Every structure is written in C-alpha cells, then in structure tokens.
Structure 1
Amino acid sequence: MADQNFEELINKYNFVPNRALGQNFLISRRAVLNIADELELTPSDVVLEIGAGTGQLTRELANRARLVIAVELDRRLEPLLTSYLRDMHSVDLIWADVLSVDLRDLLESKGLQPDTIKIAANLPYYATTDIMLKLFADLPTAKKMILMVQKEAVGRITAKPGSKQYGPLSVLTSLYGEIRTFMKLSPQHFWPRPDIDSSLLSLTARRDLIGADVGLGTEFVDFLIYAFQHRRKQFLGRLRKEGKFDQFLLLEDAMSCFVLDNNLNSDFRIENLLPEQLLELYKRAVAAESYLSS
C-alpha cells in the first residue's frame, strides 16, 4: 500500500507513468525497508541507485548511507523528486540513461573507488539484460548489488551450463558472487500494477575471484556476447571457419592448451562450459594477443 506522501506527490504533480519506459514504481514500505536492510548500509557507505523513480527507496537509502548517487532517465520526475528529497543533502541526482553513462568514470569523478560501492537497481523488463551487463562491465568489483527484476528474468540470471537460458548474463552473475532471492513482490507492491510478479535479488561479491580480477570488465562482456552468438556450434571449428587462427597466430596453440588443461574434447561447445572455464578461455585468448568480440 502506498504511503500518504507518495499519493500526495503523485496527485500534486499529476505524474503519469510512461509505459514505454517500463515505469512501475515501488510503493511497498516493507519492500523498501527490506532492500535497505539487505544492503547492510553503514554511515560511511555510498550507494549507486539505478532508477530513482519517485524517490521512496532513495530517501530510505539516504537516511542510512553517506551518499546516494541516483541515476534517473525520466526528467519529468525532476519537480517531484526535488520536492520529495529537498531536505536530503546526501543525494546526488544524475539525469541520464544509465546505459549511456560510464559508471566507473562517474564514480571516480566524485573521488570514489568502484570496489567501495553498493548498488540498488529497479530494472525494467525490456532493459534488464542490458543494464546488468553494463553493471558487470563498468563495476565488476562493486561490493553488493540489490536488483529488482520481473519474475521471468530470474531464470536467465541464474541459468546453469547446458540449459537453454544459459548465456552471458548468467555467466557474469555466477562469477560475480553469491545470489539469492530474498523477497517476492506481487503486482500490488507497485504503482501502476504490472501484469506479472517481481523478485528482489541479492548479489554479494566473491572477493576471492572477482575482487582481485580486473579482467572482468567491458572486454570480457564483449567476449561472452561473441562466444554465445553461436552457442551450439563447435567453438574451435567456428574460430577456424572465421579465420581467427590465421588472424591471431598464437590463438590455435592457446586453445589447444585450454582443451588439454580442462580435459575437454576439441569439439566443445560454449553452452556447456562452466563460468570459470569461460573466464579462463577468455584469459587464454587475451594472453595469445587474440581479441574476440562481436
């Protein structure tokens, strides 16, 4: 149920949600508190919020953290947010499409290191994959991510090797760290009400792998997109057919070593490799001065 401040703001500014932007605003106070609790915020924390919306979550995060950097696409929300957050001096509103922002540069311009950041994101269904790939590319060492996604997206995010939905998104999620669903949200938690249920996902970074691995960035994301374009084809056969072994002279030997070290057959397919094997495959290609991307 929406709180009184929310209803007053919507009525005062006569705001009409844009369906094309997938705008379904979180109005559940319990969900807002659960998100803030799950982030385990301290007064020294900095939060990057993707999709400030009407500011219900933004305000709660700002009450707990040192700074909230909120990126919002829809500038029509500016009067509403400015009014609702007028007494919150720890909120920095960025009016932009998150997909067009270099998030690492944004943080560094404010004197912040990416590995100190926690992320809260309300992801519209049409952009869930793109925004998550963006987060993993720009901020692979973020401390924690809380993602609000529609129920249908969870399968793509948590898919296992060999399954139909296994792809770059599930690979990157697995490599990033531990993931769990900590709350399920019915349509009544939102305004306007969507047609399907949503889930709140908590992702906690695995410092043993990703925190020390600067290779998980834009180039690795590009590699995964390239590799999964023909997920069911024999990967080495594809490289040979595309002339990659002629283009990159060290690549064939690097791939042969990868096959031997991982006890694979030479006809292996990308869709069957574990996330850790895909990371190793990428590193072997880079070490062989071979850059595979779409």
Structure 2
Amino acid sequence: MDVDPLALRMARSRINAAISHSHPHPNFQALTFVKNFRHIRSLLTQVDHISSGVDGILMDLGMSSMQVNNPARGFSVLANGPLDMRMDPQASLKAEDILNSWPDSEVGRILRDYGEERNWRLLQNKIAQARLQGGLHSTGELVDVIRSTTPGTKGGRQGWIKTATRVFQALRIAVNDELKTLEDSPHACFDCLAPEGRLAVISFHSLEDRIVKQVFLKIIGEEGRDSVRKIKGGEDEKELWIRQTIQGSNGTILTKRPITPSEKEEGFNRRCRSAKLRVIQKL
C-alpha cells in the first residue's frame, strides 16, 4: 500500500521478480493498492482476508531514494525543482501553495511544530518578505531564503543543510497531512490483526517516533505495565530482539525502546541511520 503510484509501479516489478525466483505456494498472491494504511480495513474486505485477521503488517514511513533523488518531486534540498512535495500526485495542495498563500502565522506554526525548527520566527519573516517580491516557486529559491538565515559562521554548509532539511520536512508533513495519517493508521492496522498478529512501524525522525510511541500506548490500554523478558535456553534466536515489553489489556508493545540500525546496517545504507522500529502485538 502506498499513495505514490510511481513507488507502487517500481514495487510491483520487484515483487514479481522475487516471486519468480522463490517458487511460492500456488495460492500465494501479492497485491498492491494506491491507498493509505488508514484505509486498510476496506481493502482487506475487498480481498476477503479480514475474516480471520492479518498475521503481520509493516508500515515504513520513510521516503524512498527514488522520491528524494527526483528534482521534479521537490523533496531534495540539493537539487532545484518545483515546490511540489506531494506523495499523491492527484492531491491538490503543494508546498508552493503553503509558502505563498497560507497565513504567516500558520507557516510559522508548521516550521515550529512539524520541522522542530528553533529559528522558525526568522524563517517565517523571510518567507513573508519573499512573498512581497513575487513569492517562492522553486526549491532553489526556498533554499536561498534558508541560507540567508544561516550565517556561514554557524555550521557552514552543514548548518544550512540541516535547517533546510527541517524546513522541507515541515512542508512535506503539511502537504501530505502525515501526522494525522500517522495517528489514524496504526489503529486501523491493529484492528485488522489476528490474535497474536503484529504491527511494525519504522519511523525516520523524532516527531514521527513520538507519535508512534504514544499511539501504541493508547492502543494497548493506558494501564500498560512494563515487563522484562527473560531469555530462555534454546529459545528461537529470531525473537531475541524482544527484551523489554509493555503489556496492556488489548496487546503488548514488544519494543519498550525502539530498535535502531546496527553499524553494519548503516554501512550498507547511510540513509537508515535515523530509523527506529517499534512493534506491537495483539492479544
């Protein structure tokens, strides 16, 4: 499931290639849908899998390199392109609309709350000034505004890149309504799980991770209590990652602390270094 049809087209070809080499069961099916995870129940009803529930669901909240590396999508701080940032190309709202037509105070709130940018007031004022001079219409123009607020003595190139990354993150979240979706989707997925089914969520920045943590606590019930798992001899090595859990009336959080990439994993893929994995299991 993905709202980006291009991502799904790439996924289908890779899935088909994997299936052709793995010789799955004759009844095996791999289905793809241009939908958000918040709509998972209606989709499962269509394919008649909802009656017994789902054994496992993985939500990967990260952007793909394909999306970041395409200047036309407007996600990259290093390549000039349109101020788009839509995951769903059929959606109407673009980053350009927010920067040029939303109230100044709302732009500032987005930078503060979604980008966790400490310099949000100055950036808000700079964006307002840019409107008076014709507005912002490309990622390059936005980056120029950001660089003007980040003196070379404060972090140099890395300083403005970090600021730009936070600003672009804030705009992307607003354009795609990502936080509301993130609050709703785990509930929808958990409801579709079979008994002992698991939901795993990979997030890539602290704002997402905090929401996942809070939503998981709500799902299992507020009376959740900590439990330290004792590792028994001969236990399945694949489950040794479960150390401390939080038990509730509806389920168990299997990762009191999120799982993060190892140095070896980061060596293979540096973009995974901020990833955090949390897992919840239904009773």
Fold shared, TM-score > 0.5 on shorter chain: no
TM-score interval for Structure 1 and Structure 2 normalised by the shorter chain = 0.3 to 0.5
TM-score if structure 2 supplies the norm length? 0.36
Higher strand proportion: 1
TM-score if structure 1 supplies the norm length? 0.34
- Higher RCO by CA contacts (8 Å cutoff, separation 6 or greater): 2
